[in-house]
Amino acid sequence: MDLKALKAQESKRKISKGYMWALFCAVFWGIWYLPGTVVWVLNPFDEMYGAIAETSGDAVSLVVTAALITAFNALTVMLALMLWNGVLGKFGELGRTLKEFHPCSKWFFLASIFGGPVAILGSFMAMGFIGGAFAAVAALLYPVIGSVLAYYWYGEKISKRAATGIVIIILGGITIFGGGVITEIAAGGVPWIGYLGGLMAAAGWGIEGAIAGKGLDISEPDVGLTLRFLGENIIWWIIIVPILAIVGFPMYSYAFQAFEPLTLLVLIFAGITFGFCYVCWYKSFPLIGVGRGQGIGNLYGLCAIIFIFLFFGDVPEWTILIGGTLCVIGSFVMFTEETAALETLRGE
């Protein structure tokens, strides 16, 4: 085989690897909605929601319960990632990267602020005050924010074709969940705090991707990701949960009750799927760029619907089928991009 053919083959392999990681991210992210939904009806979270709602109202109760669930989610994700790094033999690199606060760790901790208490909590706020449909639609817009930030901040190229693909995927996402949103808006009053939550979800995840890209380009993705979740665990378990406990919510008594077999199993399942969705997400960024990685990752909307249908038996509406088709078309627009244009993702 001659040099040119080998070169083209190698570049193609690299880019298809990047897209493969992004697609795996979408599948894991979609599966995550199963334990993420189930955990709300399990004790102690079910009891906790009821107990706090009686004294402080539904809204406060929902945010506080969501905070504890998110904290446990962060914990099990961290466990899954430690195992992953152990298998890859990367503990040494983990320690070396952690020490580099100025060039690396700083960015991962910043990313964890936008990913955890902004994006994930924002999603739960949107789910609680408006509904899951709105939360998902709002979150689907994050690649727009991520791509625009990456473009202005560190000059990442977005080709017209990639932009077109991202737009089609977003249109698909809006169609999938649009029916539900219209119903909710028709039902009356505008719950502003929910819209704020939706904005937090889209902005939080978009900013997280762009910030993480900054530390990620000089560190290893598996390691960077673990540090990002280390940051989130510190935020939840050392800052937010104790503050909520001091304010008077029974955080610890319910937290200790989470150690029962079924609840633990569901939490661990959530940790593994969420953890590996992030592993795949972060791995795709250096290969295909933040914008494209996030765009393909957005197929999670379609994956979530398929898995929810398979496991809970919720039959999809026609808007979901059309939206899903749009998502697939959008991803193919991005897939078929000329590989030469991708050889270097950034301007020199």
Partner 1 sequence: MGKNRPIKFRILELFLDGEEHWNYEIVSKIQQEYNMQGNYGRDSINFDIIELASGGMLKDVEQKVDEEGIYKKDFLLHKYVITDFGKVRGSDACVRYM
**Sites of contact with partner 1 (CB under 8 A):** 1, 3, 6-7, 10, 14, 89, 92-93, 96-97, 99-100, 102-104, 217-221, 223, 286-287, 344-348
A 10 A CB-CB count for 306 gives 15
Q: Closer CB to partner 1, residue 241 or residue 279?
A: 279
Choice between 8 and 262, CB closer to partner 1: 8
Rg (CA), the chain: 20
User: How many C-alpha atoms does 177 have within 13 Å on its Cβ side?
Assistant: 26
Residue closer to partner 1, measured from CB, 1 or 187: 1
Tokens coding 238: 């050392």
Question: Phi/psi of residue 178, each to 5°?
Answer: -55, -45
**Beta carbon nearer to partner 1, 70 or 97:** 97
CB of 97 to partner 1, least distance (A): 5
Q: How far is the CB of 282 from partner 1 (least distance, A)?
A: 11
Residue 13 burial (10 A CB sphere; 0-12, 13-18, 19+)? exposed
The minimum distance between CB 285 and partner 1, in angstroms, equals 9
Handedness of CA 7, 13, 15, 16 (dihedral sign): positive
Least CB distance to partner 1 at residue 112 (A):
18
Structure tokens at 19: 């897209």
Complex with partner 1: residue 193 or 218, whichever CB lies closer: 218
Q: Which is nearer to partner 1, 14 or 161 (CB)?
A: 14
In whole angstroms, the minimum distance from the beta carbon of 337 to partner 1 comes to 14
Nearest C-alpha neighbor of 64 from the set 289, 255, 281, 343? 255
* Among the listed residues 212, 216, 218, 223, the one whose alpha carbon sits nearest the alpha carbon of residue 91: 223
Q: CB nearer to partner 1: give 315 or 344.
A: 344
Return d(Cα 172, Cα 267) in angstroms, integer: 30
What Cα–Cα distance (Å) separates residue 86 from each residue in 90, 109, 221, 290? 6, 22, 14, 26
Residue 346 φ/ψ, nearest 5 degrees: -115, 155
Q: H or E stretch including 272?
A: helix 261-288
Closest to partner 1 by CB, 90 or 319? 90
Closest approach of partner 1 to the CB of residue 205, in Å: 21
* Minimum distance from residue 338 beta carbon to partner 1 (Å): 16
CB closer to partner 1, 16 vs 56: 16
H-helix or E-strand containing 247?
helix 241-247
Largest CA distance in the chain: 74
What is the chain's length?
348
CB of 99 to partner 1, least distance (A): 8
Nearest distance in Å: CB 143, partner 1: 19
